[in-house]
């Protein structure tokens, strides 16, 4: 069991670099615990390799171009692309403090030894890292997101608290029966909330549907076609399986390519306007963009080409509902 647990603790680091520190803390706690002697050396080495080797591989694959470029790219990813994950100002609210209180109670009630020590180490990492990000604005650490430790801390602390309530419930005294009822209510409430969220997520995916233009694109796509869409059309490349000039949803990780991604997003936003807008296409911005990049088609949804403006030569090849696809005549540019 200990061998399996150590492997399970190390695997997340091999899947996602953001979990490397969590794997290191949990696996390290296990290897330094009183029961570590029951783990053979080969098991420990495999766990260490699962944690360390993928991080070395990432470091070699994404060597910074230079310090300034790397720092700018990290800032773009952390505070523009995924601020909901990387910026504490977006999520540090009452719910976060409530979870912190729950974790502290869970650690206090946890049995002495490996479990309590591991939870305490994860809490120190999460709180200290969060404070550093808030005080310094360090984009690199924000991308690591020390608060990710909550995915372990909150559920495990909840289980510890419920287990303690269960211990108190054994017996015939009114107090113990009351604790049993309270514990059951908490469990049922948690199951209800989780089930409600799961059903809502399933319905949102089921009701999204596929745009009418997808069949046309799948039938007519040719190698070399590049579609310019509103950058906030984040389903195009999955639905249509066609090359998209840029999407807010996707981005590269090499620092200079992150800068290029941001440049493309800004150019596309000049063409289409702000997210959710339905203003006419900006022909001047489109002209600047197509002279810089080999775009072959333009997809308009809920928009029109403004009358009286000079747009690059566009030929409409598809129209259905609120969607229109135009082929760009690059020979006439």
Q: In whole angstroms, what is the distance from residue 155 CA to residue 112 CA?
A: 18
β-bridge partners, 323: 301, 320
Tell me which residue has tokens 């009418």. Answer: 212
What confidence tens digit (pLDDT) does each residue in 70-83 have? 999 999 999 999 89
Give the residue-averaged pLDDT of 22-38.
Answer: 86
pLDDT of 51 over the 90 cut: yes
What share of the chain has pLDDT > 90, as a percent? 43
What DSSP string runs through 242-297?
S-BS--SS----SHHHHHHHHHHHHHHHHHH-STT--PPP-HHHHHHHHHHS---E
Residue 325 scores a pLDDT above 80: yes
pLDDT score recorded for residue 274: 74
Task: Say what the pLDDT of residue 5 is.
Answer: 86
Let me know: does 228 contact 295? Beta carbons within 8 Å: yes
Confidence at residue 191, expressed as pLDDT on a 0 to 100 scale: 77
For residue 228, give the nearest of 156, 179, 291 by alpha carbon: 291
Residue 221: what pLDDT?
86
pLDDT band at 209 (very low <50, low <70, confident <90, very high): low
What are the Cα distances from residue 223, in Å, to 226, 235, 243, 314?
9, 20, 9, 20
Picking from 194-208, 211-225, 253-267, which range would have the lowest pLDDT averaged per residue?
Answer: 194-208
Nearest to 103 by CA among 147, 145, 25, 156: 156
Asked whether residue 99 carries a pLDDT value surpassing 70, the answer given is yes
Distance between alpha carbon 161 and the CA centroid of its chain, in Å? 29
Q: Which H or E run contains 301?
A: strand 297-301
Question: Could you report the per-residue pLDDT of 238-296, keeping only the tens digit for each?
Answer: 888 889 999 998 877 899 999 999 999 999 999 988 766 677 888 889 999 999 999 99
Q: How many whole angstroms from its chain centre is CA 140?
A: 15
Give pLDDT, residue 169.
63
- Residue 92, pLDDT above cutoff 70: yes
The dihedral built from the CA positions of residue 10, 13, 16 and 20, taken in this order, carries a sign that is positive
Give me the pLDDT at residue 189, please: 77
Can you read off the two tokens belonging to residue 165? 């309530």
Per-residue pLDDT band for 329 (boundaries 50, 70, 90) equals confident
Residue 228 DSSP code: E
What pLDDT, on a 0 to 100 scale, did the predictor assign at position 177?
66
Tokens of residue 28, six digits: 């390290």
CA 93, CA 237: separation in Å to the nearest integer?
35
Residue 116 has pLDDT above 90, yes or no: yes
pTM of the model: 0.80
H or E element: which one contains 18? none
pLDDT band at 183 (very low <50, low <70, confident <90, very high): low
Residue 112: exposure state from Cβ atoms within 10 A (0-12, 13-18, ≥19): exposed
Report the pLDDT value the prediction gives residue 303, as an integer from 0 to 100. Answer: 79
What pLDDT is recorded for position 7? 87
Say what the pLDDT of residue 311 is.
81
| Calpha distance 247→237 (Å, rounded) | 9
Residue 331: pLDDT over 80: no
Is 23's pLDDT higher than 80? yes
| Mean pLDDT, the chain, integer | 86
Mean pLDDT of all residues in 136-149:
92
Bigger pLDDT: 103 or 310?
A: 103
Using the structure block, give the residue that is written with the tokens 């017996």.
171
Query: Who contacts 313 (Cβ-Cβ below 8 Å, separation ≥6)?
Result: 328, 329, 332, 333
């Amino acid at each position: 069991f200990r061998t399996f647990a150590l492997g399970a603790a190390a695997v997340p680091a091999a899947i996602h670099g953001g979990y490397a520190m969590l794997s290191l803390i949990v696996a390290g706690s296990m290897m330094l615990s009183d029961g570590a002697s029951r783990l053979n050396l080969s098991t420990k080495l495999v766990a260490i390799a699962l944690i360390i080797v993928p991080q070395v591989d990432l470091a070699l694959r994404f060597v910074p171009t230079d310090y300034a470029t790397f720092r700018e790219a990290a800032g773009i990813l952390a505070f523009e692309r995924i601020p909901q994950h990387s910026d504490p100002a977006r999520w540090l609210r009452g719910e976060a403090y409530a979870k912190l209180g729950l974790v502290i109670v869970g650690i206090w009630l946890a049995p002495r030894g490996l479990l309590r020590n591991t939870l305490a180490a994860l809490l120190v990492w999460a709180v200290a890292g969060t404070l550093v990000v808030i005080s310094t604005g360090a984009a690199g650490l924000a991308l690591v997101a020390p608060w990710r430790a909550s995915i372990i801390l909150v559920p495990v602390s909840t289980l510890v608290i419920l287990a303690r309530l269960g211990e108190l419930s054994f017996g015939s005294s009114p107090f113990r029966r009351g604790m049993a009822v309270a514990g059951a209510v908490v469990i049922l409430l948690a199951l209800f909330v989780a089930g409600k969220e799961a059903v809502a997520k399933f319905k949102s995916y089921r009701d999204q549907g596929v745009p009418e233009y997808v069949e046309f694109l799948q039938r007519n796509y040719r190698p070399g076609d590049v579609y310019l869409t509103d950058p906030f059309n984040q389903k195009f490349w999955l639905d249509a399986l066609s090359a998209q000039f840029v999407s807010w949803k996707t981005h590269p990780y090499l620092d200079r390519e992150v800068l290029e991604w941001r440049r493309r997003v800004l150019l596309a936003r000049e063409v289409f306007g702000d997210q959710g807008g339905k203003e006419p296409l900006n022909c001047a911005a489109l002209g600047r963009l197509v002279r810089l990049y080999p775009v072959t088609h333009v997809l308009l949804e809920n928009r029109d080409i403004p009358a009286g403006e000079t747009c690059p030569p566009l030929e409409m090849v598809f129209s259905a509902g609120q969607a229109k696809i135009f082929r760009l005549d690059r020979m006439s540019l």
